Structure 1
Amino acid sequence: MKNKFESLVNRLDEFNSNELVKYESNYLRGSISDSLQDPVTGSVVFNDTLLLKFHGIYQQDDRDLRADRQKRFLEPNYQFMVRIRIPGGLLSREQWLGLDDISRKYAERGLRITTRQTIQFHGVRKGKLRKFMQALRDIGLDTIAACGDDSRGVVCGGNPMISSISRSVQELAQKTSQRLIPKTAAYQEIWYEEKPPVQPVNAEPVYGPLYLPRKFKVGFVIPPINDIDVYGQDVGFIAIVEKGKLLGFNLCVGGGMGQIDTREDSYPRLAQEIGFVQADEAAEVAEICMEIQRDFGDRQDRHRARFKYTLDRLGIPWFLDELQKRRGKPLAAAKPVAFTQNGDELGWKCGDDGLWQCTLYIESGRVNKALRDQLAGLFQVFGGRVRLTTNQNLQLIDIHDYELKQLKTRLADLGLDVLIDPNRQAANTLACVALPTCGLAMAEAERYMPAFLQKFNQLKANYELSHLPITLRITGCPNGCARPYIAEIALTGRAHGLYNLYLGGSHTGNRLAKLYAKNVNEGKILGILNDLLQRYKSLAHTEEMFGDFLVRTTLIDEVTSAKEHA
């Protein structure tokens, strides 16, 4: 095997065992088809659980029932989470209605808008997986690379005030996603039961037989709103707009939110802006960055396999040199850029093309029960398109003037108008799924967030600070799915009822938070926050954000590098 992947394949015996699973999978086929047909168990064999992630699927079980089922000598209540690939979060009205129908037929917990600007379904049983995937195909969607050691779904911010720019950036995000997904025919063979073609020698011309060392996240953002948290992406493109024209993008590399609390060499990291690229070069540059990570990422220690660690190990000067060699030219200098916030702007906005959009707040992104029915009723008459956000909200877009009155009336009739202007703090709060389905969760997040938020809102009200937006994020473990380490306040789960408390991130998402208290319960957390809010009320400058106040008053040391975060 003499090709560009030979040096990696020849080192398989040195690598993590996952690398051998990928290599021997016949380009992600494994024994998935056989596992799906096994009627004895609700699960698939272990190696197939790893491969299914490349197909957008995680095997899970209901952890609320796990202990009881063990006592009764029953296997875990196996079910699957399925995540869709929706680059830029853009859907048609018909696709939303199709997803709603699929959720009712095949899933047990509705739909969930994720922090990667897509939809995931929980509670899909093994016997329904193939029909589920075929139903997605029928509405023009798939789940390729929504999980796994590959380029995850490409996210894209939006700015309704410059509609033409937003459309251009959206198109680039979709183009980039299509360029970076795996090309193996395994997906069509397994899920659509298409007759397998002769597998070409170069079935994966970019990925090769080992794919990537770990996941790889790409995002596009349009200032001044950092709604995708661009500095948390492996590769981020910051749009540079002058006089109504898209000049190109500042390129930033090396962001990543996950960490392991028990390892000192594990930490979140902010991406660094390293240069500027023309707009038509973005997709190619993203692919080159991914190829560099493919060739130099750590395949021995999966906890150190993310792109951020590759850059810290080899250095930004080395990366710039390697990027220049592969591109054939150096990067231009980065251009000045500034952000004002990293949350969504809720409510009605009119773009420069005269079309309106309305951003609805969706608590933790969860669309089930009454809300699912209400939205289904709305989409029976709504004629525009839908855009999901990385803050788990839902935007109604492409709305004409003549539609406004009817749509506003319909929103009010369905009780959805309350989602346009919710409590301001809720609009700046995120939570991951956590228990009962996530296998990594150590504490509650999504189910706990409403109760905690109510108490936090009361603290703010006590000091007449209800108007103040504070970025608050809660996760059930340290892995960072809700991007906690760049929040002004963040709780990361450690055990049932216990969290690590991080403080001092920025409201624009360009500064890491710092660990303030370990393994603390709700009472301790609320006590700390009460004291800090009291100080803020007395000492803050006019219009000073909470995270900036904590750093300015030295209550929290400013974090300038990843290692200072802990």
Structure 2
Amino acid sequence: MQALTGKVSAGLQRPGRGQLVVTNVATPSKNPTSRLAKRSKVEIIKEKSDYLRHPLMEELVNENTYISEDAIQLMKFHGSYQQDHREKRAFGQGKAYMFMMRTRQPAGIVPNRLYLVMDDLADQFGNGTLRLTTRQAYQLHGVLKHDLKTVFSTVIKNMGSTLGACGDVNRNVMGACAPYTNRPDYVYCQKAANDIADLLAPQSGAYYDMWLDGEKFVSIYKEDPKVTADRAFNGYGTNFENSPEPIYGTQFLPRKFKVAVTVPGDNSVDLFTNDLGVIVITDEKGELKGYNLVVGGGMGRTRGNDDTFPRLADPLGYVDKDDLFHAVKAVVAVQRDYGRRDNRQQARLKYLVEDWGIERFKAVTEQYLGKKFGEFVPMPAWEYKDYLGWGEQGDGKLFYGIYVQNGRIKGDQKKALRAVIERFNLPVTLTPHQNIILRDVEPANKDEILAILRAGGVQELVDWDSIDRLSMACPALPLCGLAVTEAERSLPDINQRIRAILTKAGLPAETELHVRMTGCPNGCARPYMAELGFVGDGPNSYAIWLGGNTNQTRLATTYQERVKVKDLEAFLEPIFVAWKDNRRPKESLGDWVARLGHPAVRQAAAAAAATIAAAAATNGNGNGHAPNGNGNGVPPAAAAGKQLAAK
């Protein structure tokens, strides 16, 4: 990184009675974006695209079922990925191309009209299902190229957007999903999420050129005038003057940028996994005072590259309520101007914060902000909340949080949800854990709503195992091009096996466990925060991560690579037995692993494996060993114990 030179003043200086002169702008000797440094191929594609237009516009109207690599990179900014359905490839016909469309839903809020439109689009142009993402948005899978314009324009004209849902820009802004109308802090939180999404949305108009033939659709929604004014403000070097993209410029950001907003104590948004976390601070009367900020979180890793890693965000400081948008722009500008553009694997903000350290990052950000950050305001301990089940909104109406297994709405469940949402004109909220909350339910309609949902197979919350309720998985196979193994389709069965192993180990039936699974190391389901994380590292094989905690404030770490699905019982049973025998009262698996550390856990698990093997030998199959899946008479737990002890 280029060293900073020059003077940084304490603020604005007024020479005599004249106009204020800015002296504390960003002060590198040469702006990093002007350097002729090595850049990745994607950087060149962005620069030549005329702000995300070409060659995408031309390729969307040709006869091919696919678009080129250059167009794929631009398509992401518009909210879509090209995918290959590996299980629909016809012999001799090559890849089965289709597209995934992702929406932008700040704080997960979905108007009634948009929900119904998305439900229709899934049936008419998708694969008949709706996917709720881990960032409170929709994914519509299976859209063919020639239907893209119809699908996108329909979303835009029905109170939705896909702009910036993917690509090297700010992604969907998460927000605490509590549907409490009588809690000012949550109302401020959801407004801030929406305003930040507006602030950082691409501005060039390419999106409307592409999907609405240049007509910027006029809706009843207007962004907050303060958002407009603060976006235009350029007192401290955050903007490109006279550019169609005042914040992003021709190059946009080095990589994706993720923001989450919440209130003190509510970590339903996995706050510390984001590039920027915003925490609403109110006074004793509930009035908005300002915001605590954290920076530098992120989950993604690259297989085989130890220089890539998950990271938790660090406290940055506090800003008054009037300075939020300026502070957001300042953080984005630092990443824009100093983030790596030569190596996309190292281009996320977390690597810049890790390289510089939080104090240097703060000092540079303050130059773009024009003032110093305040001291971080003390807050209560964080809790994980999912808002499932029935609750009161605070305005006489009810909400109902519904668990959706791995976020996939399909079949009779999809029909039942549609019937309820349409009949009772309900808005919904999508949660950060792939579930859905029905809002504004009249108490008199509760029984009828439940009857419709039960008839459609939507289970009561008590009918789900707590492991299912707390788990998440990414879509993985067959559509994601990065996936090397299953996630969404395999986790339900694996959760059942985990429950059986816990029971066999002697743990109580009510034992909870946070499990997350991804089909590759990118971490879309945030497995590195789980108590038990499965990260795909080969066909039917996972790296096992242990040690995250239940309130999502501690990273798990790699416990073992390449554990095959068929060996799950042999691998996990000794760990669970050791946890049962050595934990403190009600100590969770993650806390137990973090307290002992991996070496001690391995030792305890090896001892447990030996005990399990001895018991199996005593009660075995006549040759001194319990039978196993390979039919070789070797006790699985003993083999696992040797493997663990060897580590």
Q: In the TM superposition, what are the counterparts of 1:444-459 in structure 2 within 5 Å? A: 444-459=486-501
From 200, 203, 208, the counterpart of 1:180: 200
Match of 2:80 in 1: 57
Q: Give the stretch that moved more between structures: 170-179 or 231-240.
A: 231-240
3-state SS of 2:172 partner: coil
Find out whether 1:257 has 2:277 as its counterpart: no
Amino acid corresponding to residue 457 of structure 1 in structure 2: R
CA 1:195 to 1:283, structure 2 compared with 1: closer, same or farther past 3 Å?
closer
Match of 1:131 in 2: 150
User: C-alpha separation between the residues in 2 aligned to 1:225 and 1:7?
Assistant: 39
CA 1:111 to 1:184, structure 2 compared with 1: closer, same or farther past 3 Å?
same
3-state SS of 2:466 partner: coil
Task: For residue 374 of structure 1, report the CA deviation from its aligned partner.
Answer: 1.6
Q: Give the stretch that moved more between structures: 274-283 or 428-437.
A: 274-283
3-state SS of 1:499 partner: strand
From 196, 215, 225, the counterpart of 2:256: 215
Task: For residue 17 of structure 1, report the CA deviation from its aligned partner.
Answer: 1.4
List alignment gaps of at least 5 residues for structure 1.
Answer: 559-566
Question: 8 Å contact 2:31–2:337 — kept in the other structure?
Answer: no
Match of 1:17 in 2: 41
CA 1:9 to 1:336, structure 2 compared with 1: closer, same or farther past 3 Å?
closer
Match of 1:465 in 2: 508
Q: Rg bigger for which structure?
A: 2
Q: Give the stretch that moved more between structures: 345-354 or 86-95.
A: 345-354
Question: 8 Å contact 2:293–2:315 — kept in the other structure?
Answer: yes
Task: For residue 244 of structure 1, report the CA deviation from its aligned partner.
Answer: 5.4
Match of 1:317 in 2: 359
Cα deviations across residues 105-143 of structure 1 (Å, max 9, x unaligned)? 111241100001000111100000000011102211111
CA 1:407 to 1:248, structure 2 compared with 1: closer, same or farther past 3 Å?
farther
Q: In the TM superposition, what are the counterparts of 1:214-233 in structure 2 within 5 Å? A: 214-233=255-274
Q: In the TM superposition, what are the counterparts of 1:513-552 in structure 2 within 5 Å? A: 513-552=556-595
User: C-alpha separation between the residues in 1 aligned to 2:310 and 2:358?
Assistant: 17
What is the TM-score normalised by the length of structure 1? 0.92
Q: In the TM superposition, what are the counterparts of 1:342-421 in structure 2 within 5 Å? A: 342-419=384-461
Between Structure 1 and Structure 2, how many residues are aligned? 547
Report the aligned-residue RMSD: 2.2
Match of 1:561 in 2: none
Amino acid corresponding to residue 216 of structure 1 in structure 2: F
User: C-alpha separation between the residues in 1 aligned to 2:187 and 2:463?
Assistant: 26
What is the TM-score normalised by the length of structure 2? 0.81
User: C-alpha separation between the residues in 2 aligned to 1:453 and 1:315?
Assistant: 39
Query: Displaced runs of 4+ in structure 1, greater than 4 A?
Result: 4-10, 555-558
3-state SS of 1:544 partner: coil
Amino acid corresponding to residue 235 of structure 1 in structure 2: L
List alignment gaps of at least 5 residues for structure 2.
Answer: 1-25, 217-240, 602-647
From 132, 138, 141, the counterpart of 2:160: 141
3-state SS of 1:101 partner: helix
Match of 1:26 in 2: 50
Cα deviations across residues 449-507 of structure 1 (Å, max 9, x unaligned)? 11111101212233243312211000000000000111111010011111100000111
Task: For residue 396 of structure 1, report the CA deviation from its aligned partner.
Answer: 0.9
Q: In the TM superposition, what are the counterparts of 1:84-95 in structure 2 within 5 Å? A: 84-95=103-114
User: C-alpha separation between the residues in 1 aligned to 2:523 and 2:438?
Assistant: 28
Task: For residue 369 of structure 1, report the CA deviation from its aligned partner.
Answer: 2.0
**Structure of greater relative contact order (alpha carbons < 8 Å, 6+ residues apart):** 1
Amino acid corresponding to residue 196 of structure 2 in structure 1: T
Task: For residue 12 of structure 1, report the CA deviation from its aligned partner.
Answer: 5.2
Question: 8 Å contact 1:164–1:353 — kept in the other structure?
Answer: no
Question: 8 Å contact 1:236–1:253 — kept in the other structure?
Answer: yes
Cα deviations across residues 159-200 of structure 1 (Å, max 9, x unaligned)? 35663321221011101100001101111111111269xxx9
User: C-alpha separation between the residues in 2 aligned to 1:32 and 1:323?
Assistant: 35
Question: 8 Å contact 1:378–1:414 — kept in the other structure?
Answer: no
Find out whether 1:157 has 2:181 as its counterpart: no
Match of 1:36 in 2: 60
Task: For residue 413 of structure 1, report the CA deviation from its aligned partner.
Answer: 4.0
User: C-alpha separation between the residues in 2 aligned to 1:333 and 1:402?
Assistant: 48
Match of 1:284 in 2: 326
Question: 8 Å contact 1:343–1:427 — kept in the other structure?
Answer: no
User: C-alpha separation between the residues in 1 aligned to 2:192 and 2:599?
Assistant: 39
Q: Identity percentage over the alignment?
A: 32
Match of 1:564 in 2: none
From 266, 270, 273, the counterpart of 2:312: 270
CA 1:283 to 1:42, structure 2 compared with 1: closer, same or farther past 3 Å?
same
